[in-house]
Chain A
Amino acid sequence: MEILSYLINGLGLGSVYAIIALGYTMVYGIAKMLNFAHGDIIMVGAYLSFFAMTRFQLPVIVSVALAVLGCTILGVVVERLAYKPLRQATSLSVLITAIGVSYFLQNSAQLLWSSSTKVYPTIISNGAIKIGSLSISYLSILTILVCILVMTCLTLFVNKTKTGQAMRACAEDKGAAQLMGINVNHIISITFAIGSGLAAIAAVLLCAAYPSVSPTLGSMPGIKAFTAAVFGGIGSIPGAFLGGILLGVIETLTKAYISTQLSDAIVFAVLIIVLLIKPAGLLGKKVSEKV
């Protein structure tokens, strides 16, 4: 029974990674860039929801909605100001810019909100459902449900809507997409909007589990989720989901049975092994061309 409860905790943590990883993977799939500032969008989402709940005493759901809205706007603005001018630049320039944006956001947060850690309010009771000796926290259940909901909506959006189809077309061949009359810049903006909105949701779930808010809060989950995206096959939405879940489960089980200190090292070792065997990641596609 013990392992089962660790497994469910792992699924909870993995769900958060998966939601963050979706942002990395979608942006990579469409804009072909690694947005290393994605983790810091999470941090901004955490602060926005924190202030909405504490300073303005708004209900949780309204606070979450505000954080999603704020992050969506921030994501689109960052893309416009920092990445769009570099559309024709080398990927290295874009990568360095993304790291710059990451530092900019972290330092702005320090300046605006100080570097001291703030305690995030409790948004869901600490209780748990008990089945025999197995106990599942409400938070784990909520997190897993949110992740399933997000995945379902996103999959439907990408596969069933016209905008989603245009996104898939841009992911494959931006030039050809443009020849169809698709406004590629607009599609890239939408992608950043969705990814950043999801980052805000992840921020709230993350802070519910680890209730401390600081300007560097997004770094580690950001790196982990990026790893999850690569693990699952960057550019693939189901890949981000699978990678996130597996990463969360591996991390939790390692902490429980092997070593708390080594858990990150083991997680990254697993990533290296997967990439050695499947360089495109678990669900990544090999690129092939027909002549």
Chain B
Amino acid sequence: MLKIENLVVKYGMIEAIKGISFEVRDGEIVTLIGANGAGKTTTMHTISGLLKPESGSILLDGEDLVKIPSHKIVERGLAQVPERRRVFANQTVEENLSLGAYTRKDKEGVEEDLKNVFARFPRLEERRKQLAGTLSGGEQQMLAMGRALMAKPKILLMDEPSMGLSPLLVKEIFRIIEEINKQGTTILLVEQNAKMALGIADRAYVLETGKITLEGTGEELANDTRVQQAYLGG
């Protein structure tokens, strides 16, 4: 479904991503793990079109996303839950969700999906008229996820969904990620919390200073001694 080939991304002179290739197949949960500064968020931003790569291609069902205007990417069925959630703090929960469906024209489908989001996150329905900035961190994460789901994506990119949340909430968020995946949405997950991420991933890649150094199934990497030493606390 999503195929990244020889992707190079630069910030000025500095090469942040040094020619990575990886793939997310239909229906999978794929995770990209790595330390701070490894290039995980840069990769996510480039796939969503916030950054333009120096070279390489990002193929979504065969179409190169690098060649289309960034605001058209959502329409192609790719949505992102960004790092630190980035909900629109001065808009209500409801308004945030409607922005998620900004590019959609099918009114009935949007209403249907709004119901689904509220069913999945009842807290959001309780707070639908509240400004997003007044929500707790966990609620904002749910809102960011709900907002991305409103785009009805084929593939959902999630950048550090566990950041800043309590262990209990992290578990809950990961349960929901698995649930979304089971209902047919492909997922690309970026995480520092390697243990949780490898636990739910079909396949995983390790990103180190802009290069992919290891790949395998979630289980393989979880049992790999190098991964254990570097990311799972020995």
Chain A contact residues: over half helix, strand or loop, or mixed? helix
Residues on the B chain within 8 Å of A71, using CB = none
Q: Is the CB of B49 within 8 A of A165?
A: no
Q: B226 → chain A, closest Cβ, in Å?
A: 31
B75 lies within 8 A of chain A by Cβ: yes
Q: Is the CB of B137 within 8 A of A179?
A: no
- Residues B11-35 near A (CB distance < 8 A): none
Q: B169 → chain A, closest Cβ, in Å?
A: 14
Q: Is the CB of A183 within 8 A of B90?
A: no
> In the complex, which of the residues A175, A177, A180 has the most CB atoms of chain B within 10 Å of its own CB atom?
A180
Q: Is the CB of A181 within 8 A of B88?
A: no
B73 lies within 8 A of chain A by Cβ: yes
Q: Is the CB of B82 within 8 A of A176?
A: yes
Q: Is the CB of B91 within 8 A of A180?
A: no
Residues on the A chain within 8 Å of B164, using CB = 291
Q: Which residue of B lies closest to A172 (CB)?
A: B88
Q: Which residue of A lies closest to B87 (CB)?
A: A176
Which residue of B95, B137, B151 is within 8 Å of A165 (Cβ)? B95
Q: Is the CB of A290 within 8 A of B137?
A: yes
- Residues B29-50 near A (CB distance < 8 A): 45, 48-50
Residues on the A chain within 8 Å of B130, using CB = none
**If the complex has contacts A169-B88, A290-B133, are A179 and B95 also in contact, measured as CB distance less than 8 A?**
no
Cα A162 to Cα B100 in complex, Å, equals 12
- Residues B62-101 near A (CB distance < 8 A): 69-75, 79-80, 82, 84, 86-91, 95, 98-100
Which residue of B49, B75, B89, B95 is within 8 Å of A178 (Cβ)? B49
Q: Is the CB of A182 within 8 A of B82?
A: no
**If the complex has contacts A173-B88, A175-B50, A290-B140, are A166 and B71 also in contact, measured as CB distance less than 8 A?**
no
Cα A285 to Cα B89 in complex, Å, equals 12
Which residue of B69, B74, B137 is within 8 Å of A180 (Cβ)? B74
Q: How many residues of A contact B (CB 8 A)?
A: 21
Q: B190 → chain A, closest Cβ, in Å?
A: 14
What 1/0 flags go to A152-179 for Cβ under 8 Å of B?
0000000000100110110011011111
Assign chain B's interface to a size class: 20 to 34
Cα A178 to Cα B71 in complex, Å, equals 6
Cα A173 to Cα B80 in complex, Å, equals 15
Q: Is the CB of B90 within 8 A of A172?
A: yes
A209 lies within 8 A of chain B by Cβ: no
> In the complex, which of the residues A165, A181, A182 has the most CB atoms of chain B within 10 Å of its own CB atom?
A181
A109 lies within 8 A of chain B by Cβ: no
A190 lies within 8 A of chain B by Cβ: no
- Residues B46-63 near A (CB distance < 8 A): 48-50
What 1/0 flags go to B125-163 for Cβ under 8 Å of A?
000000001000100100000010001000000000000
Q: Is the CB of A169 within 8 A of B71?
A: no
What 1/0 flags go to A4-39 for Cβ under 8 Å of B?
000000000000000000000000000000000000
Residues on the A chain within 8 Å of B75, using CB = 181
Residues on the B chain within 8 Å of A180, using CB = 74, 99-100, 102-103, 147, 151
Residues on the A chain within 8 Å of B103, using CB = 180-181
A123 lies within 8 A of chain B by Cβ: no
A184 lies within 8 A of chain B by Cβ: yes
Q: Is the CB of B137 within 8 A of A168?
A: no
Which residue of A165, A183, A291 is within 8 Å of B71 (Cβ)? A183
Q: Which residue of A lies closest to B151 (CB)?
A: A181
Q: Is the CB of B88 within 8 A of A168?
A: yes
**If the complex has contacts A165-B98, A165-B99, A183-B69, are A175 and B91 also in contact, measured as CB distance less than 8 A?**
no
Residues on the A chain within 8 Å of B82, using CB = 175-176, 179
Q: A162 → chain B, closest Cβ, in Å?
A: 8
Cα A176 to Cα B88 in complex, Å, equals 8
**Can you list 30 pairs linking A and B with CB atoms under 8 Å apart?**
A162-B102, A165-B95, A165-B98, A165-B99, A166-B99, A168-B88, A168-B91, A169-B91, A169-B99, A172-B88, A175-B82, A175-B86, A176-B87, A177-B99, A178-B49, A178-B71, A179-B50, A179-B79, A180-B103, A180-B151, A181-B75, A181-B151, A182-B71, A182-B99, A183-B71, A184-B71, A288-B133, A290-B89, A290-B137, A291-B137
Q: Which residues of A contact B (CB under 8 A)?
A: 162, 165-166, 168-169, 172-173, 175-184, 285, 288, 290-291
Knowing that A168-B91, A175-B82 touch, tell me 8 more A-B residue pairs with CB under 8 angstroms: A166-B102, A169-B88, A175-B45, A175-B50, A177-B99, A181-B72, A181-B75, A182-B102
Q: Which residues of B contact A (CB under 8 A)?
A: 45, 48-50, 69-75, 79-80, 82, 84, 86-91, 95, 98-100, 102-103, 133, 137, 140, 147, 151, 164
